[in-house]
A and B are shown apart, each in its own frame.
Chain A
Amino acid sequence: MSSSCSSFKQNAAVAIHDPKLQGALGKLGDGLQARRAAAVGQLPEFDALRNDAQRIKRQVMADLDCYLEQFESKVLEQGGQVHWASTADDARNAVLDICQKVGAKTVTKGKSMVTEELELNNFLADNGIEPVETDLGEYILQLRKEAPSHIVVPAVHLQQDDIAKTFVKSHAQLDPSRDLTEPERLVGEAREALRERFFAADVGITGANYMVAETGSTVIVTNEGNGDLTQTLPKVHVVVTTIERVIPTLEDLSTFLRLLPRSATGQEATAYVTLSSGPKREDDWHGPQEFHVVILDGGRSELLGSENQDVLNCIRCGACMNHCPVYGAVGGHAYGWVYPGPIGSALTPALIGVEKSSALPNASTFCGRCVEVCPVKIPLTDIMRRWRVEEQTKKLTSPFQRAGLSAWAWLATRPGLYQALTGLTAWGMKVVGRRRGGLTRLPFASGWTQYRNFPTPEGKTFHAQMKQKAKTKANLGVRYE
């Protein structure tokens, strides 16, 4: 997918002044955040499970090729096929080839962020095959020709009346004055509209939350049931996934199934978890005659063994974005590529290059809430910080910024001078600030003062106050251990 990550700042400025978007994003606190907190609170073993999950993922990454081989051989053994794709191009062509061999006209799709990465819908349409998104959120976005703004709740940027308008426009055969004021009516209408598409599709494409090496199963974790209709009704089931999604055993799957729904939507379990292994057996009434797994690398293997390897542990729950103050302020589209929020800021530079995406690791306050809620304990802020360092060393920042940072580094490594200068600055700001009742303008800090006053310093720096306190306590006979 083409990216507009480098326009993050402009995108964000537009997003902040979009009242509809702000209304939609404002619901995250009482919605997904609150539900996660409740679900996690009811499971005392949640942290133990996080540790297990991190261990399992690290174990897989240490021997990723062995687990992938095991998975592949189990799929083949059961009559399925595995297609390896080094690049997005490889993956697109593999899917197209499968579709063309069976003369496919329409393809139903379950929710899959990897197919967003591939821009698969446009590619299939350009080749005369109609893709039909069947997840409600993705269906709405396909009608609106928009990209998902969240990896779990793709249409989270929309409000109900936006969706009602889209349905009135797109379902033109229905009475335009019908009542669409309740979400139930919108859901019912989409259900009706898509039902025949499920039966008509020649190929069903889904993603995979997991590949289980032990059994050669791909696993989807869903709530609507569209993924299941997508993969049981057509004669061909294509799974599009990526190399890091493999896990060893069914028991390991259970660990992830306890973490994922709680972290994502605050559910103890989603309505559906489905394991698909090979094509249908001879006397099964339903299920595909062909089962294909397209496994994309797309730059992920270069993360293995690197300092940033843990980003591959991600299980795509979206908790990091649900809890991110930056995501909550600007929404997912501002990030400019497939994966928004903290995970996007940590992952995107690895997949499309830090040159195109260095704005993203900078789009963080490093408050660390994402790290606190991550079910697989990815050190997201550390990874973003390393991308910032790379941005600096590759000279991708402006010469002005680099000079400023160098000057800062020079000063900060000379404590005497640093303390004297900061002491002077604090004193100066206090004097000026007191006179004006808050600082409305500051050199080098217009980004702050444009929106709000800078608080007036109390007078002395932290260092100076500490020194003074230590002196007082020493006089009183208290010692710092």
Chain B
Amino acid sequence: MSNAREKIFAAIARNKKPMQDAAEKSENLIARVEVNTIPARGNLSGVAMVEEFEKRVLASAASIEYVSSNKDVPEAIVRYLAKHQLPNVCFANGKAGQFSWSRVPELDVRTTIGNVNSPVVVTEAFRGIAETGSLVLISQPGHSSASHFLPEYLIIILPYNNILPSQESVWEDVRQRSGDIPRTVNLVTGPSRTGDIEQKMVLGAHGPRQVHLVVVK
């Protein structure tokens, strides 16, 4: 296949038409040459940003609630399960296993890899994006990326301060982490869906039918 590599690169070198200031650009390939447009709705801050976030989350057919501290997360999960008449069982993904689950002894919280294929999964988001109402989920040690796509119900926990205006602000934070970009970065905007049958939107194609967001203030 190295032969193919040579062929392709030779063809590109032969045919490409460099831009006028190419020398400057090729030395500095990755550095931002020009800043791209960020829409006004991705440039908000403070309350306006959080309002935009909530609006977009709801528009994506996900649901949202706020709790005042991490301690309140387990009760919020129990309430959600009761509201949807679901059994008191869930898989808590990675760090979500560390919430004070003992506060809700009626809830069977599973945290081992054998339980990733549970109907209800609770997971923590890395960031939220106000512009689109998207949640950013990243792969981490002791954490299952597949569990974001397997359940019927996906419950995502997000610290209030991790709501950011735009994707661009998330990329900044991704670069701030040590080491390479995580193997998997998922931007999740609402439940799984498909328009493959007569262009009609149907929720719950292969991934979660419902996405619920718990924002911790």
Contact = CB atoms under 8 A, between A and B. Distances in A.
Interface stretch (A217-225, A359-367, A415-423, A434-442): A217-225
A154 B207 contact: no
B141 A56 contact: no
Given A94-B1, A285-B143, A191 B204 contact: yes
A269 B16 contact: no
Interface residues of A, number: 108
A83 B1 CA distance: 7
A205 to B, nearest CB: 16
A309 B17 CA distance: 10
A303 to B, nearest CB: 8
Nearest to B6: A84
Interface stretch (B66-74, B101-109, B132-140, B155-163): B132-140
B29 to A, nearest CB: 6
B194 interface: yes
A163 B7 contact: no
Interface string A213-255: 1110100000111101100110000000001000011111111
Interface in B83-135: 113, 116, 132-134
Contacts of A191: 204-206
Interface in B182-208: 182-200, 202, 204-208
B60 A269 contact: yes
B184 A274 contact: yes
Contacts, number: 282
Given A62-B22, A232-B184, A301-B11, A52 B16 contact: no
Contact of A32 (B19, B143, B199): B199
A62 to B, nearest CB: 4
Q: Which 10 A-B pairs have the closest CB atoms?
A: A225-B207, A283-B141, A224-B205, A31-B199, A137-B196, A301-B11, A84-B5, A304-B15, A250-B171, A273-B187
Interface of A: 24, 27-28, 31-32, 43-45, 48-49, 52, 55-56, 58-59, 61-68, 70, 77-78, 83-87, 90, 94, 134-137, 140, 153-156, 159-160, 163, 183-184, 186-188, 190-191, 194-195, 198, 213-215, 217, 223-226, 228-229, 232-233, 243, 248-255, 257-258, 265, 268-287, 295, 297, 301-306, 309
8 contacts: A56-B36, A136-B205, A187-B204, A228-B145, A232-B146, A250-B174, A297-B7, A297-B8
